[in-house]
Amino acid sequence: MQDLLGKVALISGGTTGIGLAAAEAFVASGAKVVVAARNPERGAQAEQELRHLGGDAAFHRCDVTDPSSVADLLAFVVDRFGRLNCAVNSAAFDSRPSAAHEVPFDEAGKTISTDVLGVFNCMKYEIGTMLQSGGGTIVNISSVNGLAGAPTAAVYSAGKHAVIGLTRSMAREYIARGIRINAVCPGATETARRERRIAHLTLKERREHQEQLFQTIPIGRLAKAEEIASAILWLSSTASSYVVGHSLVVDGGLQACRECLPMALTFDHVFICSENPAEAERALADFGLQFSRRRIHRGQGTANACAFFDNAYLELLWRHDDDELQSEVVGPVGLWQRVRWRETGASPFGIAFRPEGSEVPVETWPYAAPFLPAGGNLPIVTPRFRWQEPLTFISLTSQAPVTLPPERQPPLDHRGGHHRLTAVTVYKPEGQEISAGLKVLCNLDVLAVQPAAEHHIELEFDGARRSESHDFRPTLPLVLRW
């Protein structure tokens, strides 16, 4: 980008990965570059590589967790090049994947010290320097894990959330003084750091891990560090002059998956009532789905069989005890009508959601499901006795099957390679008004409802990247897309 010609850029964490790729991109645009990191050997190598590309570049050793070290770094930049126009804060602690309760306190402290306080320290001194020469741009490196929860990376995710908070707050504070601040949120990227995180896996485990990961990314591959660097360069140039306080997602479409959006609810499970469960389960098994757990719901009058996926499960539900199904407690959810849906015209479906936070963004009423422990209840969204629409409810205590410990994890492999439930569309007879709660769920984009001649449900897996489908009707009112 021509407007970066002759500009002075500083990249902390600039000797490897995304930081080094950004430094190379600045050099290619004619900028003068300082890269900073703790490792002097890697720093010297990075400086040599940048000079080999024809850049006016220098390395300066810096520990971003130490304010005095950062102050020395900015003094070096000014002494060497006279000013600072662009800064990229890319330094991060090399944390290991771990269950949250097993993370050592010192490692958690180092992660926050580097990923949060380190970014703040850099911004503090970069801003002070830029104010002396009329302004500049700052790009902080966050992550898609700064937009949503990340199992086995809780502290890292918290740190990246904090980076977005710093970016937004300081962007508003300093834009009037000529300093434009934004962030980039990369998805999974090919870097040496990523290789270190999976170094403990066997070759077979690496291959399986990669295949599973690729299935969750619509573009079907990891990002290259150079692709992230292109976004950083754009945010540092006048081409993005009206972009302030923004977190630019560069993730191959991952956040575009409906299930992956940073929303208040995610899928927990879908149930389908069947009048002939043996035939229905056989049809699904012949297709390639693996059913692994069965249960009788004592007091509710139903029984089930479940097929589990990474983030949710599919439940076949059928009648087990007619008296229990017609009890005063069970009556309001309409299961007696739902299990006989062809006869009654009731919706045979249920969709359960997990809340991502402590608040549920829709009104509910408590169903004291008889099979739950004493005092337990399920928050139901669907109004009482509203059998014509799917039963929608909240599952407060469950978690994604893939995050369960090995001894509790059900089989997740299916012959068709289906991994993640990414969208649910319910088809219901035309002319039936939907409830306020169902409208809220549709507005949250966690569910779609369409008119049709008869009840059926469409489940999308893995973003429907393969553009394939299978219709189980008339055995089961189900269409799968993947």
Task: Report pTM.
Answer: 0.58
Domain 2-256, CATH = 3.40.50.720
Domain 260-481 class, CATH top level: alpha beta
- What is the per-residue pLDDT for 257? 57
Q: How many residues does the chain have?
A: 482
482 residues of the chain, pLDDT tens digit each: 678 999 999 999 999 999 999 999 999 999 999 999 999 999 999 999 999 999 999 999 999 999 999 999 999 999 999 999 999 999 999 887 777 888 999 999 999 999 999 999 999 999 999 999 999 999 999 999 898 877 778 899 999 999 999 999 999 999 999 999 999 999 989 888 778 777 767 787 677 667 767 766 888 889 999 999 999 999 999 999 999 999 999 999 877 754 443 446 899 999 999 999 999 999 999 999 999 889 999 999 999 999 999 999 999 999 999 999 999 999 999 999 999 999 999 999 999 999 876 667 788 999 999 988 888 889 999 999 999 999 999 998 888 999 988 888 999 989 888 999 999 999 999 877 788 889 888 877 788 999 899 999 999 999 988 899 999 999 999 999 99
Q: Which residues pair with 88 in a beta bridge?
A: 11, 139
- What is the per-residue pLDDT for 153? 85
- What is the per-residue pLDDT for 437? 87
Catalytic residue among 125, 156, 174, 427: 156
| Domain positions in the chain | 2-256, 260-481
- What is the per-residue pLDDT for 210? 73
- What is the per-residue pLDDT for 260? 41
211, 251, 278, 432 from 467: Cα distances, Å: 18, 21, 29, 30
156 assigned to active site = yes
- What is the per-residue pLDDT for 262? 40
- What is the per-residue pLDDT for 209? 66
**CA 339 from centre of chain:** 35
